[in-house]
């Protein structure tokens, strides 16, 4: 038994939250700049652009979810650290990588798409539904990564 | 992340593009009976402000200022817009050199909405502090002034300053690092060169004259253009057909005003794809040129109506709109 096992597992939880959270912050930031531009000229569009701005924020939540499951699995939450081998620790780290990496990249890409979609709302507010769909497409890949991370973390026997 | 620095600016421009005039509205202005009605219609669209009521020139001037105010407000880096301020800046230089040399002073000759406003430019030239001028301008000012004082020939002075302005525009375009600004600068210089060729051909100027007036640009061969201008008007049109300015050849054959109109329309055509950009300076440039174009078109309609031109004569001069 090595003490490093639990370190690797905790590192996995950190990676999931860190990377996807950073991505969401950048994505929401980019979309927020565009949203501010529109609201400066036309405050009546506030509600519509706010919804689009929030789309890249979901990756951070997915990261949080995986981080949370990992923490409870290894016993950081609810007392009593699990006794993990290095191999199990590394398995958990690997399981956390998909949502971390895909979360980061997809949130940034989604932020850019959201900024462009906010341009649609600025010019044609009646096309709000279509404008929402373009950034929502990017979400698919974050959900796929979430699914694999979730299955992997849950499947590892501690 | 650097390419997202225009996200705010572009979104704001997107919201403003909604209030640009469409071709249909311009058609509506054309059908107005008098200049007063035209002015009334644009004022109802929000043109001018409290101080400019019923004064056409003041309304148009205020609109030009408004367009620049917006750009100054949103642009993260104003240096890329140097290309647009150079014509006014060099005009001020030209006016100041002439006024100082002829010992007259007339403030109405200057533009004030550029980096060096009229009064300051006059002081610089009067006290001969050329080093206060940016870039190559100090050398140009010195040369123009010496030439005017020695020869008393205003045209040579004009050529020196205008040529320097074109060179500065081309260089600023290359330096901006933005393909759309570079394209705009190159097109501006090329169109100026074509106009010089047309006028020089009509007035029978020499090849040396043309060479000193025209500036190098990427999209035209000056040698071929000068050779065509020496041969005749039709030869200029023929040469244009072999370049990316082919559409200008027909306009040139039609009339000078058709050619002017073609020049503006081509610029708008070049900029139109910028309506779909999200993270570049392009939409800002597009908006600015679209506003200038719009103001110019309203001015044409107003003057046309004031002078009793027929609708067809005005329509021949109407520019295409950006939106």
CA A6 from chain center: how many Å? Answer: 24
The dihedral sign for the CA sequence B40, B41, B47, B49:
positive
**Digits of tens for pLDDT over chain A (158 positions)?**
568 999 999 999 999 999 999 999 999 999 999 999 999 999 999 999 999 999 999 999 999 999 999 999 999 988 788 889 999 999 999 999 999 999 999 999 999 999 999 999 999 999 999 999 999 999 999 999 999 999 999 999 98
Rounded distance, CA A59 to CA A20, Å?
Answer: 6
**Residue A20 and residue A107 in contact, taking contact as beta carbons nearer than 8 Å:** yes
ipTM: 0.87
Give the residue from B4, B7, B46, B278 with the most A CB atoms within 10 Å of its CB, the best one to mutate: B7
Residues 6+ apart with CB under 8 A from A72: A78
What separation, in Å, do the N-terminal and C-terminal C-alpha atoms of chain A show? 13
pTM: 0.87
**Residue B168 and residue B137 in contact, taking contact as beta carbons nearer than 8 Å:** yes
- A79 and chain B in contact, CB less than 8 A: no
CB contact under 8 A, B74 and A33: no
CB contact under 8 A, B11 and A122: yes
- pLDDT single digits (tens) B264-273: 898 888 899 9
- A148 and chain B in contact, CB less than 8 A: no
- pLDDT single digits (tens) B51-81: 877 788 899 989 988 999 999 999 888 888 8
- B119 and chain A in contact, CB less than 8 A: no
- The alpha-carbon gap from A73 to the nearest alpha carbon of chain B, in Å, equals 36
Chain A CA closest to residue B4: A30
Residue B2 pLDDT grade (very low, low, confident, very high; cuts 50, 70, 90): low
Rounded distance, CA B194 to CA B252, Å?
Answer: 10
B1 pLDDT exceeds 70?
no
Distance of CA B218 to CAs B174, B192, B201, B221, B249, Å? 10, 13, 22, 8, 19
- B254 and chain A in contact, CB less than 8 A: no
Q: What is the mean pLDDT of residues B163-171?
A: 93
- B35 and chain A in contact, CB less than 8 A: no
Rounded distance, CA B249 to CA A97, Å?
Answer: 61
CB contact under 8 A, B16 and A30: no
- The alpha-carbon gap from B25 to the nearest alpha carbon of chain A, in Å, equals 17
* Chain B residues touching A115 at Cβ < 8 A: 4, 7, 10-11, 278-279
Closest listed residue to residue B154, CA positions, set B84, B225, B98: B98
């Amino acid at each position: 038994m090595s003490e490093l096992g639990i370190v690797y597992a905790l590192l996995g939880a950190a990676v999931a939250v860190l990377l996807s959270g950073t991505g969401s912050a950048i994505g929401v930031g980019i979309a927020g700049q565009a949203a501010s531009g529109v609201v400066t000229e036309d405050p009546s569009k506030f509600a519509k652009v706010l919804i689009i701005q929030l789309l890249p924020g979901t990756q951070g939540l997915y990261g949080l979810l995986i981080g949370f499951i990992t923490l409870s699995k290894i016993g950081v939450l609810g007392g009593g650290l699990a006794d993990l081998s290095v191999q199990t620790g590394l398995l958990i780290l690997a399981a956390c990588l998909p949502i971390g990496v895909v979360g980061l990249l997809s949130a940034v890409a989604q932020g850019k798409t959201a900024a462009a979609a906010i341009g649609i709302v600025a010019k044609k507010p009646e096309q709000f539904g279509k404008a929402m769909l373009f950034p929502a497409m990017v979400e698919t890949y974050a959900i796929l990564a979430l699914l694999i991370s979730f299955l992997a973390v849950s499947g590892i026997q501690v | 992340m650097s390419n997202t620095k225009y996200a705010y600016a572009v979104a704001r421009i997107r919201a403003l593009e909604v209030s640009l005039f469409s071709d249909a509205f311009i058609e509506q202005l054309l059908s107005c009976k008098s200049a007063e009605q035209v002015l009334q219609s644009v004022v109802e669209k929000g043109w001018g402000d409290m101080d400019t009521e019923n004064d056409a020139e003041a309304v148009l001037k205020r609109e030009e200022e408004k367009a620049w105010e917006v750009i100054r407000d949103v642009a993260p880096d104003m240096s890329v817009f140097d290309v647009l301020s150079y014509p006014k800046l060099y005009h001020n230089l030209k006016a100041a050199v002439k006024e100082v040399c002829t010992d007259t002073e007339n403030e109405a000759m200057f533009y004030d909405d550029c980096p060096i406003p009229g009064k300051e430019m006059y002081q610089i030239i009067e006290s001969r502090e050329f080093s206060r001028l940016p870039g190559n301008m100090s050398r140009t000012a010195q040369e123009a002034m010496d030439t005017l004082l020695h020869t008393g020939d205003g045209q040579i002075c004009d050529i020196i300053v205008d040529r320097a302005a074109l060179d500065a525009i081309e260089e600023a375009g290359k330096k901006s690092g933005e393909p759309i600004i570079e394209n705009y600068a190159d097109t501006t210089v090329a169109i100026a060169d074509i106009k010089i060729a047309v006028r020089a051909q009509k007035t029978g100027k020499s090849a040396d004259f043309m060479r000193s007036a025209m500036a190098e640009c990427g999209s035209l061969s000056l040698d071929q253009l000068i050779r065509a201008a020496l041969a005749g008007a039709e030869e200029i049109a023929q040469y244009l057909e072999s370049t990316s300015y082919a559409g200008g050849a027909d306009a040139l054959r039609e009339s000078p005003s058709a050619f002017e109109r073609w020049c503006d329309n081509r610029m708008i055509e070049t900029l139109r794809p910028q309506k779909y950009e999200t993270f570049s300076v392009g939409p800002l440039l597009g908006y600015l040129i679209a506003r200038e174009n719009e103001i110019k078109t309203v001015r044409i309609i107003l003057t046309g109506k004031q002078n009793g031109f027929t609708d067809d004569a005005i329509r021949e001069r109407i520019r295409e709109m950006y939106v």
